[in-house]
C-alpha cells in the first residue's frame, strides 16, 4: 500500500476554497477534491459546505453517499491521512459552556458561547422539515444538563397547590398531539437592518427560521388537568420558566396570553419530540413549549415551571426584549413599557437560492426560498421579480395544506425562469398571507434599534455568466 503524508485537522482546515484547494476528510483519510467540485452531482455549493473538514456530518444528511460507488470515487482523490496523535482538545472545567452538546459543523455560527447558529441558506429550504442537526439554535445561556429520570415539570395550580409531572407522566397521562410548526426568531434577517444603521443583537442572516414536526402534550390539557378553567375573566397570562438561569439565578422566561394557551385551535404544545426523536439538547431536552405562529422567544426550552398570572412574565426577555419600536426611538429615549411584547409575527419570505453575489450559468435559473406568516395565517402567494421589483412572476408554492387559521408551517417556493448571458439580476421576493398582509418594500422605514421584525422584500443580486 502507498504511504501517505500526515496532516493535522488544522492543516486540512486551511483548504476551504478552489483557490487554496478544497480538502475534506472521511474517517482518517484526507482528500483533495478540488477537481471534483464542479463535477459534483449535488452541485459545487453543497460540496464546499464541507471544505476543510469532515464529510460525515454532511453525508449523514444525504444517504446517496452511503453507496459504495461514492466511496470508490472519493478514493481517487486521496492525498494523505490524519496524523494519529490528533487528540480532541480537553474540555475546560471552568467554562460554563463546557457541557454544551456537539454541533453540526455546517451551521453558520453567530456566537459560540452562548451558542447561536443558523443553517446555511443553501440547505435551509432543501427540505420541508429542517433536519434536527441543522435547525437554527438560539440560546441565551449554557445548555442545561437534564437527567430525564429526575426531571419534573412544575405547574402552579389555581388554588395554590402545585402539580409535579415526571417525563413519563407527561407522556402517559395526556394524549400525544403532533403539530408541524415553523419557529422564527424575532431577529431573523437582522443583518439587513444593520446595513441601514447599526442595531443591537446577533447578526442573523436569513436562517433564524426552521420547521419541525413537534410531538407532545397539549398545554391546554395540562392546565385543565391542573384545575384551570376554559376561560378566565380579565387579563391573564401563562408564564414559562426554563432550567437555564443567568449567574444571578434569573431563569429564561416568557409568557403568552391565557386564551392562546387554552385554545384547542392554537395547538400550543409541551413538546418532548422533534421530527420523531426526543428533543435534542440544544432545542430544549427533555421538554419545551412550542407556540405555533408566535415569535420563537415564547417557545421556552428546558421547561421547568408553568404558572398563570395577571401579569406577563417578569423576565427580561418578555419585558425588555422582543419588542418593536419606531425608527425614531434610540437607546437614550427607549421606554420598554410603551410597546407590547411581540407575539404573532408578520408575513416573511426570503430567497435561499441563488446566494447574493453568485455567478449563475445562462439558460434556466431556478430561484428558491421560504415564506411564512404568524398567527396561523397561510401564505397564499409569493411574487418574485428578477429586475429589482419592476416586473413580477408568481412562484410555485410547495407545502402541506393546513386547516384554516392553523397554517403553522412555512411554504417553500420556487420559480424557474430563462436568464440571458452577461446580465445582472436583482432578485426580489415578497409574500402575501391569508389576511392579504404584505411585506414592506424597504428596510429603512421599519428599522428599529433592536433589529427585530426585519421583513422587507428580500433582495439578492447575482450576475449571469457569459
Ligand atoms: C468529496 C465529497 C463528495 C463526494 C465525492 C460526493 C459525491 C456524490 C455523488 C457521486 C453523488 C451522486 C450519487 C448518485 O446519484 O448515485 C452525489 C449527490 C449529491 N450530493 Fe454529494 N458528494 C460529496 C459531498 C457532498 C456534500 C458535502 C453535500 C452536502 C452538503 C452533498 C450533497 C449532495 C446532494 C444534495 C446530492 C444529490 C442527491 C440527490 O439527487 O438525491 N455532497 N454526491
Ligand atoms: N429556556 C430557553 N428557552 C428559549 C430560549 C432560551 O435561550 N432559553 N431562546 C428563545 C428564543 S429567543 C428562540 S428564537 C427560540 C429558539 O428555539 P431553537 O433554539 O430551538 O431554534 O427558543 C426560545 N426559547
Ligand atoms: Mo429569538
Measured in whole angstroms, the distance separating CA 355 from the mean position of its chain's CA atoms is 18
Residues 127, 61: contact at Cβ < 8 Å?
no
Indicate which residue's Cα is closest to atom 11 of ligand 2.
297
Q: How far apart are CA 255 and CA 259, in angstroms?
A: 12
Using CA atoms, how far residue 164 sits from 170, 230, 254, 256, 453, in Å, is 10, 21, 20, 21, 37
Q: What is the dihedral sign for C-alpha 34, 39, 41, 46? A: positive
| Ligand 3 centroid, distance to 438 Cα (angstroms) | 22
Indicate which residue's Cα is closest to atom 23 of ligand 1.
47
What are 91's three cell numbers? 474540555
Q: State which of 299, 342, 374 you would mutate to test the pocket of ligand 2, scoring each by most atoms of that ligand within 8 A of its C-beta.
A: 299
Cell match 452531482: residue? 41
| Ligand 3 centroid, distance to 186 Cα (angstroms) | 5
Per DSSP, the residues of 252-275 read EEEEEEHHHHH-GGG--EEEEEET
Q: State which of 296, 316, 322 you would mutate to test the pocket of ligand 2, scoring each by most atoms of that ligand within 8 A of its C-beta.
A: 296
| Ligand 3 centroid, distance to 62 Cα (angstroms) | 29
pLDDT cut 70: percent of the chain above it: 98
Q: What is the pLDDT of residue 88?
A: 52
Q: Please give the span between the terminal C-alpha atoms of the chain, in angstroms, as a whole number.
A: 46
Q: Is the pLDDT of residue 94 over 80?
A: no
Give the mean pLDDT of 265-276: 98
Q: CA nearest 384: which of 452, 439, 443?
A: 439
What are 412's three cell numbers? 417553500
Is 185's C-beta closer than 6 angstroms to any atom of ligand 2? yes
Measured in whole angstroms, the distance separating CA 72 from the mean position of its chain's CA atoms is 35
Question: Which helix (H) or strand (E) is 12 found in, with range?
Answer: helix 9-13
Residues 446, 456: contact at Cβ < 8 Å?
yes
Q: How would residue 277 be classed by pLDDT, with cut points 50, 70 and 90?
A: very high
Q: How would residue 66 be classed by pLDDT, with cut points 50, 70 and 90?
A: confident
Q: How far apart are CA 205 and CA 23, in angstroms?
A: 27
Is 450's C-beta closer than 6 angstroms to any atom of ligand 2? no
| Ligand 3 centroid, distance to 261 Cα (angstroms) | 19
Q: Is the pLDDT of residue 22 over 60?
A: yes
Cell match 426570503: residue? 350
Q: Is the pLDDT of residue 62 over 90?
A: no
- Average pLDDT over the chain reads 95
- Of the CA atoms within 13 Å of residue 37, those in its CB half-sphere come to 22
| Ligand 1 centroid, distance to 58 Cα (angstroms) | 9
| Ligand 1 centroid, distance to 42 Cα (angstroms) | 5
> Is the pLDDT higher at 85 or at 43?
43
Q: What is the pLDDT of residue 95?
A: 83
Structure confidence by residue, pLDDT tens digits, 239-259? 999 999 987 889 999 999 999
Residues with CB under 5 A from ligand 3 (ion): 138, 185, 296-297
Is 252's C-beta closer than 6 angstroms to any atom of ligand 2? yes
Q: How far apart are CA 399 and CA 379, in angstroms?
A: 10
Q: Is the pLDDT of residue 1 over 70?
A: no
Q: What is the pLDDT of residue 426?
A: 98
Q: What is the pLDDT of residue 92?
A: 63
C-alpha R_g of the chain: 24
Ligand nearest to the CA of 115: 2
Task: Classify 150 as helix, strand or coil.
Answer: helix
Residues 325, 334: contact at Cβ < 8 Å?
yes
Which of ligand 2's atoms lies nearest the C-alpha of 317? Answer: 12
Q: Is the pLDDT of residue 281 over 90?
A: yes
Torsion over CA of 14, 19, 22 and 23, rounded to 10 degrees? -40
Amino acid at each position: 500500500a502507498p504511504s501517505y503524508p500526515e496532516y493535522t485537522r488544522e492543516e486540512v482546515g486551511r483548504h476551504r476554497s478552489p483557490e487554496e484547494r478544497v480538502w475534506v476528510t472521511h474517517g482518517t483519510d484526507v482528500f483533495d477534491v478540488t477537481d471534483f467540485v464542479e463535477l459534483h452531482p449535488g452541485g459545487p455549493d453543497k460540496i464546499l459546505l464541507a471544505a476543510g473538514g469532515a464529510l460525515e456530518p454532511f453525508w449523514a444528511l444525504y444517504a446517496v453517499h452511503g453507496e459504495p460507488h461514492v466511496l470508490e470515487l472519493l478514493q481517487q482523490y486521496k492525498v494523505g491521512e490524519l496524523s494519529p496523535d490528533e487528540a480532541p482538545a480537553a474540555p475546560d472545567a471552568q467554562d460554563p459552556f463546557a457541557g454544551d452538546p456537539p454541533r453540526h459543523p455546517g451551521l453558520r455560527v453567530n456566537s459560540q458561547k452562548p451558542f447561536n447558529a443558523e443553517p446555511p441558506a443553501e440547505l435551509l429550504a432543501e427540505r420541508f422539515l429542517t433536519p434536527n442537526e441543522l435547525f437554527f439554535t438560539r440560546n441565551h445561556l449554557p445548555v442545561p444538563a437534564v437527567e430525564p429520570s429526575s426531571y419534573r415539570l412544575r405547574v402552579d395550580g389555581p388554588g395554590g397547590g402545585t402539580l409535579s409531572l415526571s417525563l413519563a407522566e407527561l407522556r402517559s397521562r395526556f394524549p400525544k398531539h403532533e403539530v408541524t410548526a415553523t419557529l422564527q426568531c424575532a431577529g431573523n434577517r437582522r443583518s439587513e437592518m444593520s446595513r441601514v444603521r447599526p442595531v443591537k443583537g446577533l447578526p442573523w442572516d436569513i436562517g433564524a427560521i426552521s420547521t419541525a414536526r413537534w410531538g407532545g402534550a397539549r398545554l391546554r390539557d395540562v392546565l385543565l388537568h391542573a384545575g384551570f378553567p376554559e376561560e378566565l375573566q380579565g387579563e391573564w397570562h401563562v408564564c414559562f420558566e426554563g432550567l437555564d438561569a443567568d449567574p444571578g439565578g434569573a431563569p429564561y422566561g416568557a409568557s403568552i396570553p391565557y386564551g392562546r394557551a387554552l385554545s384547542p385551535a392554537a395547538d400550543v404544545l409541551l413538546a418532548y419530540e422533534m421530527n420523531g426523536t426526543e428533543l435534542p439538547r440544544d432545542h430544549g431536552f427533555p421538554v419545551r413549549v412550542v407556540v405555533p405562529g408566535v415569535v420563537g422567544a415564547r417557545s421556552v426550552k428546558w421547561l421547568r415551571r408553568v404558572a398563570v398570572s395577571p401579569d406577563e412574565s417578569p423576565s427580561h426577555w418578555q419585558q425588555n426584549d422582543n419588542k418593536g419600536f419606531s425608527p425614531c426611538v434610540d437607546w437614550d429615549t427607549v421606554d420598554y413599557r410603551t410597546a407590547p411584547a411581540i407575539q404573532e409575527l408578520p408575513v416573511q419570505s426570503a430567497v435561499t437560492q441563488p446566494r447574493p453575489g453568485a455567478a449563475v450559468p445562462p439558460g434556466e435559473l431556478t430561484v428558491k426560498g421560504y415564506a411564512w406568516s404568524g398567527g396561523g395565517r397561510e401564505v397564499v402567494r409569493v411574487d418574485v421579480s428578477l429586475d429589482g421589483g419592476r416586473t413580477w412572476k408568481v412562484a410555485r408554492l410547495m407545502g402541506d395544506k393546513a386547516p384554516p387559521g392553523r397554517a403553522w408551517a412555512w411554504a417553500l417556493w420556487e420559480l424557474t425562469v430563462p436568464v440571458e448571458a452577461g446580465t445582472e439580476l436583482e432578485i426580489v421576493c415578497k409574500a402575501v398571507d391569508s389576511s392579504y398582509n404584505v411585506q414592506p418594500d424597504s428596510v429603512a422605514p421599519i428599522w428599529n434599534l433592536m433589529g427585530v421584525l426585519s421583513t422587507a422584500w428580500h433582495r439578492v443580486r447575482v450576475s449571469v455568466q457569459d
